[in-house]
Amino acid sequence: MCRKLACIVFVISIFMCGNALALTYYWDGGGANNLWTTAANWNETSNPDTYPGTGDIVRVEDASVTQPLIDSTVTASHTKIWVGADVSGSSVATLTMTGGSLASTGAFDFIVGYGATHEGTINMSGDSSITVGGSNLKAFDIGFYGTGSVTMSGSASIAATAGVGVGYATTGTGSLTMSGSATVTAGTSVLIGRLGTGTLTMNGGTITAADSFYVGWNYASYTGTGTVSLNAGLIQVGNSSDDEFSMTTGSTMNITGGTMTIFDDDGSKATAIQGYVTGNQLSGYGYYDLSHVIVSWDEDNSLTTVTAVPEPATICMLGFGALALLRRKRA
């Protein structure tokens, strides 16, 4: 009995010590440059001008100081990362990534815009990358209770072991804008307007949701609202019959280019999407009809593909434009 008690005390002590070692560092921008890895840019009560380690918590929350930069020279990893988060007050913060990598490896979500008075922005370009979760199942949240914005260009990438939520909680407002060959990969679902208000604008790139894709989401008495503009790029959804594409009342999606594919082994997803079209929620070039939104079910490959075509008049105009260009080149 004494031996068992000693073991329990030993395990608890290790757990407590492990948690005690996780210090919280705040960005103060006091260094000679604004690089994330410059020690003088960080402050912790007992460790001023010290770079946070992989087991530490980091927060960027003060717009009055020089904002952080992660470039191709930076490889950073921390247990918990919040951009735009101050437990005691309001905060506005911006992180710029032109390259390099940032990993959140602990048992916490990566949050952009935490509290109702908080605003967080991340601008990603080049081959910059953010990874979330490590060995834990954790999400990347844009606009948790506050306002969050993420813009991705080039070959920037975000990968989370769990979901990617835009407009996460009831007061949250989030936006995600993608272009180029940017990629977003969710180990579970992508939720645009999870319980708050979310906006996705795709001008290029690829989103992969291993499970489901929600434009708005319902939970108990709460309902999120999402807006999706698929102008170019690819949205890939699901890998089993349990996965789904769904939209809440008031949520909308407009396709003017690009493609969405959904795992669909029985054609039910195709039928549901056709319902969103006729129900004035999913449109092609702004038209809510199945002549502009093309829904195609491939039974052999268990795949529904959704694209859009412009109205005939627009097609004719594009054709005349191409013909005029061809004549000009010949001339």
In a domain, 195, yes or no: yes
DSSP assignment of 119-131 equals EEEEEE-TT-EEE
Query: Alpha-carbon Rg of the chain, whole angstroms?
Result: 23
Tens-place pLDDT, residues 256-274: 999 999 999 999 999 999 9
In this model, does residue 149 exceed pLDDT 60? yes
Q: Is residue 47 part of a domain?
A: no
Amino acid at 43: N
- Residue 82's closest CA among 35, 39, 142? 142
Q: Is residue 249 part of a domain?
A: yes
Q: Are 205 and 182 in contact (CB under 8 A)?
A: yes
pLDDT at position 220 is 86
Q: Is 224 helix (H, G, I), strand (E, B) or coil?
A: coil
- How does pLDDT run across 58-76, given as a tens digit for each residue? 999 988 899 999 999 999 9
Token pair belonging to 258: 């690009």
For the full predicted model, state whether its pTM sits above 0.85.
Answer: yes
Is 9 part of any domain?
A: no
Summarised one tens digit per residue, pLDDT across range 104-133 is 999 999 999 999 999 999 999 999 999 999
Q: Going by DSSP bridges, is the β-strand pair 259-263/303-308 parallel, antiparallel, or unpaired?
A: antiparallel
C-alpha atoms less than 13 angstroms from C-alpha of 59 in its C-beta half-sphere: 21
Domain count, the chain: 1
- Through-space distance between the first and last CA atoms of the chain, rounded to whole angstroms: 96
| pLDDT for the residue 139 | 98
User: The tokens of 241 are what?
Assistant: 């019959």
Number of Cβ atoms within 10 Å of the Cβ of 25: 22
Q: 120 lies in a domain? A: yes
At residue 325, φ and ψ (nearest 5 deg) are: -65, -40
pLDDT band of residue 311 (cuts 50, 70, 90) is: confident
In order of 39, 161, 192, the CA distances from 35 in angstroms are: 9, 27, 31
Residue 115 lies in a domain: yes
Could you tell me if residue 312 is inside a domain?
Answer: yes
Q: What is the structure's pLDDT at 230? A: 98
Q: Take residue 201 and report the two structure tokens written for it.
A: 């604008």
DSSP-derived secondary structure for 53-77: -TTSEEEE--TTSPPPEE-TT-EEE
Residue 312 burial (CB count, 10 A): 9
Q: What's the domain range around 326?
A: 53-330
Has residue 243 been placed in a domain? Answer: yes
